[in-house]
Structure 1
Amino acid sequence: MKVVIYRLGDSQYATPVEKIQSIERMLPIRPVPGAASHILGVANLRGSVIAVSDLRALLHIEEQELTAESRLLISEGNGYVVDEALDIADCALDAWEVVGEQRVWQREDQLIVWEELGANG
C-alpha cells in the first residue's frame, strides 16, 4: 500500500494515499465564529470552500506557528494542517504493528504513526 508521510512536531505520521485528494500550500484561512476549537476556519480551494482543521489540536500536540513548510492535506473535502509533507512511500500492510491503541511502522530509524483522516478517521 502507499501512504503519505507527514510531520507534526518531532513525530511522523502516515495516512493511506487514497484518503488524500491533494497536498496544498497553505491558503488564506478565514475564522468561523463558534466553530470547534480544532477548526481554524474555512479556505477557498479552487472555488470550493473547505473547512480547515488543526491536526495538532485533533491529536493533542502542542500548538506551533505555521512555517513555509506547513501544508494542507485535503481529505474528503476538508483540509488538515501539517508541519511538513515528507514523502509518499510503499509499505506492506503487515509492516504495521499495534502498540497500545496505535498502529506504528518502523521505517529505517523513524517510527511512523498511522493516522486516518476524514469522516471515518
Structure 2
Amino acid sequence: MVEQQTIVLDRVFHALADPTRRAMLKRLASGERRIGELASPFSMSLAAASKHVRVLEQAGLIRRRVEGRAHLCRLNPDPLAAADEWLHFYERFWGQRLDALEEALNAEDGSEGDHHDGR
C-alpha cells in the first residue's frame, strides 16, 4: 500500500515538474479539451502534446476519451489531492519547527534583555 502511494506521488510530481504540463492542467480545470487545443498555446506539434498528455495520464491527472478521431481530455483531481495531503504533512512539520525556533529566539532575546539590564 505504501509503495503504491509512493509510485503515485512520484508520477504526479514528475508530471507537475514540467511547466507545459502544469499549464495544460490549468486549461483542463475549466473543462474538457482536445489534445490540439491543449497544444495550441505552445506552438507544439500534436505528437509533442500527446507525449505530455501521456505523462499526465500515467500520473492519473487526466482522463482521455476518444470520439472518432478526437481525443478529449479532462482533469482528474484525485491524484492532486494525494499530493496536497503529502505536502500538507510537511507544511505542518516545518510550521511546528519554525514555531519552536521562534519561541527559542524570543526566549533568548528576553533573557539577553534581562542580562543587559542587570549590569
Query: Normalised by the size of structure 1, how large is the TM-score?
Result: 0.26
Structure with greater Cα Rg: 2
Larger strand percent: 1
Return the structure number with greater relative CO, CA threshold 8 A, min gap 6: 1
Q: Give the TM-score taking structure 2 as reference length.
A: 0.26
> Higher helix fraction: Structure 1 or Structure 2?
2
